[in-house]
Amino acid sequence: MPEEFEPKIVAFLCKWCSSAGSDLAGVSRMEYPPNVIPIQVMCSGSVSPLYIFSALNKGADGVLVSGCHPGDCHYIKGNMYARRRLALVKKLLEYIGLEPERFQVSWVSAAEGTKYTQIIKDLVKELKPLGPQTKLRRNP
Amino acid sequence: MVNIDNLKEEVKKLIVDGKVKYIIGYEKGRNGLMSNPIFIRKPEDVEKLVWDHSCVYNLAKFLVDEKRRKAREKQPDTKPVGVIVKGCDSRAIVVLLQEKFITRNDVYIIGLSCEKTGVVDERKLTKKLKQKIPEKIEAGEKDTFIITAADGKIEIPAEEILATRCLECKANFPVIYDVLFGEKTNRNVENPYKTLENIESLPQEGKWKFWEEQLSRCIRCYACRSACPMCYCDECVVDTINFAVTADTTAEEKAAKIKWLEKSPLSSENFVYHLVRAIHLAGRCVDCGECERVCPVHIPLRLLNKKLEKEAKELFGYEVGMDPSLPSLISCFKDEDPQDFIR
Amino acid sequence: MKRTGVFICHCGINIAGTVDIKKVAAELSCHPGVVHSEEYVYMCSDPGQNLIVQAIKEKKLDHIVVACCSPTLHETTFRNTAKSSGLNSFRCEIANIREQCSWVHKDMNKATEKAIKITKSAVEKVRRNESLEPLSVPVTRKALVIGGGIAGIQSALDLANSGFEVILVERSPSIGGHMIQLSETFPTLDCSQCILTPKMVEVSKYPKIKLMTYSEVQEVSGYVGNFKVKILKKPTYVKADKCNLCDECTKVCPILVPNEFDLGLTGRRAIYIPFPQAIPASYTLDIKACPGLLPIACGKCFDVCKPRAIDYDMKPQVIEEEVGAIIVATGYDLYDKENMAEYGYGKYADVLDGLQFERLCSASGPTKGKILRPSDHKEPKEVVFIQCSGSRDPEQHYPYCSKICCMYTAKHAMLYKHHVHDGQAYIFYIDIRSGGKGYEEFVQRAVEEDGVLYLRGKVSKIFEEKGKIKVWGVDTLTGKDIEIDADMVVLAMATRPSKGSEELAKKLKIALDKDGFLAEAHPKLRPVESITSGMFLAGAAQAPKDIPEAVAQASGAAAKAVSILSQERLYHAPTVAKVNLNLCTGCGMCVQVCPYEALSLKDGKVEVNDVLCEGCGTCSATCLRAAIQVKNLTPHQVHEMIKACLGG
């Protein structure tokens, strides 16, 4: 019985909103698949495109970046720069033929434990049929 | 039409009056048709200046070298450097000014308008001429080029040998200059992103197949990086080789040199290198075409960078290389920036 | 050789129920650099913490990772544990394997695998942390209050009462703001000047308060605890200590200009006192109205001044001060009637705004408290009050509610009825907002006791016809169109931040919100702080508000300022940005994106103001060359964390 493919996902969560939202999902004992390993950053604005490319290069099947809603950034406007930068990354990755589901951005506030849970569930569901990400992954 | 004699007169005057350190221009090629760059320091050398459809090089690149040279001198000459630029080249200077890499006083810009034509793509020309070796190129009557080879002249429709970027160029004249030769005419371009759209319209796996094929040839020679005026970083993020590791390098500094990529030209590493380069050139690449020209394996690199130029325009209303007073693309934002891709 | 210790908490069964703790401990003990790996049921407990202390000592650990609950709970706890064992607090990192792992997954194998990756990621991070100490800067224990209205006055008094020196800067010749222009205040109908003037006098007598009127802030530089301010003291041409308020000068001054205090309803001389109770008690010569002093074109006021108080040789002075905290209380102005096309562009003499009507009511006003029409000085028998003039109007004017208009319109209608017993007052309203203490009862009084007629509807147009003001409105509750031939119309114009707020905000580098009011750091939890550390907001400059709220906010701002001034030194988180000068090319992109203006270009390279930097990292992601990075969350660390997360 072949094992079902389980995508490996790296999520960059901003400390003040998305990571707190993820904590809330935990406190509320919500349930979502364990495919996502979170890395807490201070602000979605501090996520460099290099991190995303590197995660894909090191074998991530999917990458998520999540930050505060526009207007709510703890650091006032870091997420606005993230929005611009990540839009360009998304367009570029799509243009070279990477499946668009593999890189996603979300706004999750500290109160949105439910939303975070749903995003992870949707993400895993969308990545499973795509199989392992081999295009940018460095083969050992 | 750019009057070559007027140009030579202006250049000579600048040299004789001592207004500039030297002037970077084009001279007749020593190896075939394509002209070469020339650094004119003496009035006698002004005669060597040429201006024709083989003046492909982006001479703005030499301004980067000039800055490095000045930084090494104890008492640098602060006179500006004169540089002859086409429309695309001038936009490179705009970006250098935006990023304060040079100041306006560092450069005396001699702008030449391509008017309704442009420069030839040497590869297209070679393919067209097959074995013949071209010696001279002139504009013909009806939107054609007349190539003089050893065994006579050939007339070729301009469209077939002009550089693709010239066919898609909306502004054939410099956007910044101290003196301008030629008319500020706009080429009638229906679709400046035509070749881009050919790839954008491919299905997702088709896009991948195209780029995998192209980038599989990459040998990571970094010629694209060396030729690009915007790649002036002392140390390239993906390939930390410039700063020597000496006895004084602290353990902290050594450890901090992140090895983002393997040096070997594996497909994955090639992709990441080009992706990082493209994203770092977002809002900075002016489509001067040098990267593509110098690539020894003929990867259509401008198609990668131009994609983000298009997105900058369409998503954010940002025109690259037009106004030196504007902030860079990624260091500003609008409240209305699109976020439909965000969950 | 780095020696890392890993401590994994069971948290009872909260973590141990879904994560195989022993397996995690075993896996981590094999991880390169980990020399100690231990698990315990409650790591945050005293015995748990003791285990950590012991291990640090015995195994000579130099870094620790505690895999437990969210860092929001116990990061401080464990960092203190590390500190007490002689390690720098940043040598301790938390791996969140509860909220983000054990509590959200059911499959033990997978949850354990994930917990291992999260913990390894934390190990890779902590091993590359720098030892940092909180930054400390000295504090100048003096405050600056900009704006001498009720909010500024209250802040200044609170600060002085707390023992700190205060500089109170006011651009007009006297403090008092708009409150001193009011006749009575709601809901008590207290005489405004009676309750305000004692505070004003207190300000003038308090030695700790340096009052600088007719002055403006020109330049502010520095950062919290250490601001340098340049204040322009404009010349009044009258020596305040000599002026005895005899008023002989105004009798001979030939110039007449609109009187700002009466909002143009009366005139004043070029030499004038804004109102009798002005503080400082002195006259001022308005150089813009005066025919000229170089050379002296007139000189009549000087001739009649017996105390020799007038001094034409006074020069503007720029005074430099150092302060530790700044409170901005620059107040409001009313939206100009000229903007109301539907209400006559402010052309009609008998269409007034709220402050003008206030002056008519005032006993010291242009009509000595009688309500008279400005056009013919006759008593108006029919007065229409229009609320929401310019407010709650996103299409034409401003979308927000100006908050105070319902209350002061009710007050105006009542005062009118008290003055003109046989007059009829109509109020056109959309809603009545009377939420404060005693406010609802006050509005009911207007209706029940003073017979004010409230009409629910908007006024579409007013225009002058045969000496009357025709008002076309609607009463939506009856569905009828209403036409009133009014003798006077009073518009409750929208409250706007006072003129010059935008320029001042730029000088101070504090943000404005979408409507131009001073932006607070957080709309719910930080209403008196601006985004700029050390600068606080008070009063109507931050948002429309009434006097009790302005006073409360002013005291709040003063308390916040005291929290800075009362300290010997200020401490700031040290996880700030750092520039590698070898790599920086001075392109300035990071400078543009910094939300706190903590970065600047100096000699072609970027410099970080550690005290302003909040460590968000936006600069780091923007930099194309990795020349600027935030300490303890560098790209290098993230790179290693990515590798650990993917099992590499």
Backbone phi, psi, residue C35, to 5°: -105, -5
CA pair distance C536, C419, nearest whole angstrom = 41
From CA C211, how far away is CA C575, in angstroms rounded? 40
Contact of B324 with chain C, judged by CB distance below 8 Å, is answered with no
Q: Which tokens in the block code for residue B97?
A: 């000014």
CB–CB of C111 and A34 under 8 A? yes
Q: How many secondary structure helices (H) and strands (E) does chain B include?
A: 13, 8
Chain B hits for C587, CB-CB cut-off 8 Å, are 99-101, 328
CA A105: distance to chain centroid? 6
Q: Taking CB atoms and an 8 Å limit, are C99 and A25 in contact across chains?
A: yes
Distance between CA atoms of residues A106 and C178, nearest Å = 47
Q: What pLDDT is attached to residue A73?
A: 85
Report how far Cα C469 is from the mean position of its chain's Cα atoms.
40
Q: How much is the pLDDT for B245?
A: 64
CA–CA distance, C224 with C324 (Å, rounded to integer): 6
Instruction: Write the CATH number of the domain with boundaries C576-630.
Output: 3.30.70.20
C645 touches chain A (CB under 8 A): yes
C44: Cβ contacts below 8 Å, ≥ 6 apart? C9, C68, C73, C74, C77, C78
- Of A92, A124, A120, A90, the closest CA to residue A108 belongs to A120
Map tokens 């927000």 to a residue.
C400
Residues of A66-85 as b/e, b for ≥16 C-beta within 10 angstroms?
A: bbbebebbbbbbbbbbbbbb
Q: Is the pLDDT of residue A30 over 90?
A: yes
**What is the distance in angstroms between the Cα of A2 and the nearest Cα belonging to chain B?**
26
CA-based angle B116:B117:B123, to the nearest 5?
160
Q: Which chains touch B (3 or more CB pairs under 8 A)?
A: A, C
Same domain, B199 and B336: yes
| Cβ atoms within 10 Å of C189's Cβ, excluding its own | 15
Q: Are B20 and B108 in contact (CB under 8 A)?
A: yes
CA-to-CA separations, C165 to A62, C48, C211, C533, in angstroms, rounded: 58, 49, 11, 20
- pLDDT reported for residue B236: 87
Mean pLDDT, chain C, whole residue set: 94
pLDDT, tens only, C474-517 = 999 999 999 999 999 999 999 999 999 999 998 888 888 889 99
Whether residue C335 contacts residue C544, with contact meaning beta carbons closer than 8 Å, is answered with no
Banded model confidence at residue C2, pLDDT cuts 50, 70, 90: confident
> Does one domain contain both B185 and B197?
no
Residue ranges of chain B with pLDDT lower than 70?
240-246, 255-256
- Phi, psi at C382, each rounded to 5°: -130, 115
- B118 and B195 fall within a common domain: no
- In angstroms, what is the C-alpha Rg of chain B? 21
Average pLDDT over residues C428-451: 95
A20 min Cα distance to partner chain B (Å): 17
| Chain A CB contacts of C99 below 8 Å | 22-27
User: Are C554 and C155 in contact, with CB atoms under 8 Å apart?
Assistant: yes
**Domain check: are B207 and B114 in the same one?**
no
pLDDT (tens digit, 9 = 90+) per residue, C345-387? Answer: 989 999 999 999 999 999 999 999 999 999 999 999 999 999 9
Number of domains chain B contains = 2
Is residue C500 within 8 Å of residue C218, measured between CB atoms? no
Q: Provide, rounded to the nearest whole percent, the portion of chain C with pLDDT above 70.
A: 100
Cβ–Cβ under 8 Å, residues B162 and B78: no
Distance from the Cα of residue C623 to its chain's centroid: 32
* Backbone φ and ψ of B285, nearest 5°: -75, 125
In the predicted structure, residue C81 carries a pLDDT above the cut 90: yes
Query: Taking CB atoms and an 8 Å cutoff, what residues of chain C touch A23?
Result: 70, 72, 96, 99-100
B251's CB contacts (< 8 A; 6+ apart) are none
Determine the pLDDT at residue B242.
59
Q: Assign domain C334-496 to its CATH superfamily.
A: FAD/NAD(P)-binding domain (3.50.50.60)
In this structure, the answer to whether residues B114 and B64 fall within a common structural domain is yes
If DSSP codes are grouped into helix, strand and coil, which group holds residue C300?
helix
Q: pLDDT confidence of A2, banded at 50, 70, 90?
A: low
Nearest by CB to B331, from C128, C589, C604: name it: C589
For the residues of B49-89, what is the DSSP string, one character each?
Answer: B--STT----TTHHHHHHHHHHHH-SS---SPEEEEE-HHH
Residues facing C464 on adjacent strands: C469
> Both B204 and B226 in a single domain?
yes
Q: Looking at the structure, do residues B282 and B210 belong to the same domain, yes or no?
A: yes
Q: Report the 10 Å Cβ neighbour count for C642.
A: 26
- Structural domains of chain A sorted by starting position, each given as residue range(s) with its CATH number in brackets: 9-126 (3.40.50)
Residues B201 and B118 in one domain: no
Q: For residue C618, give how far its alpha carbon lies from the nearest alpha carbon of chain B (Å).
A: 10
Contact B213, A97 (CB under 8 A): no
Mean pLDDT rounded to a whole number for chain B: 90
Task: Name the CA dihedral angle for C531, C532, C533, C538, rounded to a multiple of 10 degrees.
Answer: -70
Do residues B251 and B329 share a domain? yes
Query: Residue B38: which domain range?
Result: 1-189
CATH number of C142-180+188-233+317-331+506-565: 3.50.50.60
Alpha-carbon dihedral angle through residues C14, C18, C24, C25, given to the nearest 10 degrees = 40
Rounded alpha-carbon distances, angstroms, from residue C621 to A48, B331, C523 = 4, 10, 28
Per the CB < 8 A criterion, the answer to whether C214 and C232 are in contact is: no
In the predicted model, is pLDDT for residue C111 greater than 90? yes
How close, in Å, is residue C476 to chain B by CA atoms? 37
Task: Provide the whole-model pTM.
Answer: 0.80
Query: Within a 10 A sphere around the Cβ of C339, how many other Cβ atoms?
Result: 16
pLDDT at C644 over 90: yes
- For residue B311, list chain A residues with Cβ-Cβ distance below 8 A: 87-88, 91
Query: Of C104, C617, C645, which has the smallest distance from its Cβ to A37's Cβ?
Result: C645
Cα dihedral angle (C8, B255, B264, B206), rounded to 10 degrees?
60
Tell which of C124, C513, C606, C624 to mutate to test the B interface (max B CBs under 10 Å): C624
Q: End of a domain among B154, B189, B224?
A: B189
Helices (H), chain B: 4-16, 61-72, 87-98, 122-129, 158-161, 164-167, 194-200, 204-215, 223-227, 251-256, 267-280, 290-294, 302-316
> Fold identical between C142-180+188-233+317-331+506-565 and C334-496?
yes
For the stretch B201-239, pLDDT in tens is: 999 999 999 999 999 999 999 999 999 999 998 888 877
B314 C-beta neighbours (distance < 10 Å), count: 12
pLDDT of A140 strictly over 70: no
User: In a mutagenesis test of the C interface, which of B63, B70, B96, B233 is the best target, namely the one with the most C β-carbons within 10 Å?
Assistant: B233
Q: What angle do CA C321, C324, C326 make, to 5 degrees?
A: 85
B279/A84 touch (CB, cutoff 8 Å), yes or no:
no
Segment A127-140 mean pLDDT: 92
In this prediction, residue B241 carries a pLDDT of: 62
DSSP lists the bridge partners of residue C323 as: C227
Distance from CA of C35 to the nearest CA of B (A): 21
So where are chain C's domains?
4-133, 142-180+188-233+317-331+506-565, 248-304, 334-496, 576-630
Q: At which of B148, B172, B189 does a domain end?
A: B189
- Identify the sign of the CA torsion A82, A83, A87, A90: positive
How near does any CA of chain A get to the CA of C640, in Å? 10
Largest CA distance in chain C: 99
Of C303, C310, C245, C237, nearest in space to C273 by CA: C245
Question: Do B18 and B36 belong to one domain?
Answer: yes
Q: What is the pLDDT of residue B186?
A: 79
Does C74 contact A at CB distance below 8 Å?
no
Helices of type H across C105-241: 108-126, 150-161, 192-205
Which residue blocks in chain A are alpha helix, DSSP H? 18-27, 49-57, 78-95, 113-127
When CB atoms are compared, the residue of A39, A50, A78 closest to C645 is A39
Average pLDDT on A50-57 reads 96
Q: How many CB atoms lie within 10 A of CB B53?
A: 24
Per-residue b or e along C611-632, where b marks 16 or more CB atoms closer than 10 Å to that residue's CB = bbbbbbbbbbbbbbbbbbbbbb
User: In this structure, are B242 and B285 located in the same domain?
Assistant: yes
Q: How far apart are CA C6 and CA C422, in angstroms?
A: 86
Categorize the per-residue pLDDT at C400 as very low, low, confident or very high, splitting at 50, 70 and 90.
Answer: very high
CATH number of C4-133: 3.40.50
Q: What is the tens place of the pLDDT at every residue in C113-136?
A: 999 999 999 999 999 999 999 999
Q: How far is C244 from chain B (nearest CA, A)?
A: 56
The domain boundary, picked from B170, B189, B208, lies at B189
For residue C537, what are the β-bridge partners?
C328
Q: How far apart are CA B211 and CA B275, in angstroms?
A: 11
- Integer CA distances (angstroms), C414 to B154, C189, C191, C422, in order: 97, 10, 14, 12
* Burial class of residue B197 (count of CB atoms within 10 Å of its CB; 0-12, 13-18, 19+): exposed
Residues of C in Cβ contact (< 8 Å) with B235: 582-583, 625
C-proximal residues of B, 86-115, CB under 8 Å: 99-101
Torsion, CA C101, CA C102, CA C108, CA C112, rounded to 10 = 50
Q: What percent of chain C stands above pLDDT 90? A: 91
C524 has a chain A CB within 8 A of its CB:
no
Q: Are residues B206 and B173 in the same domain?
A: no
Inter-chain CB proximity B212 and A90 less than 8 Å: no
Helix (H) or strand (E) holding A36: strand A36-41
Contacts of C601 in chain B (CB under 8 A): 100
Sort out which chain A residues have CB atoms less than 8 A from B318's CB and list them. Answer: none
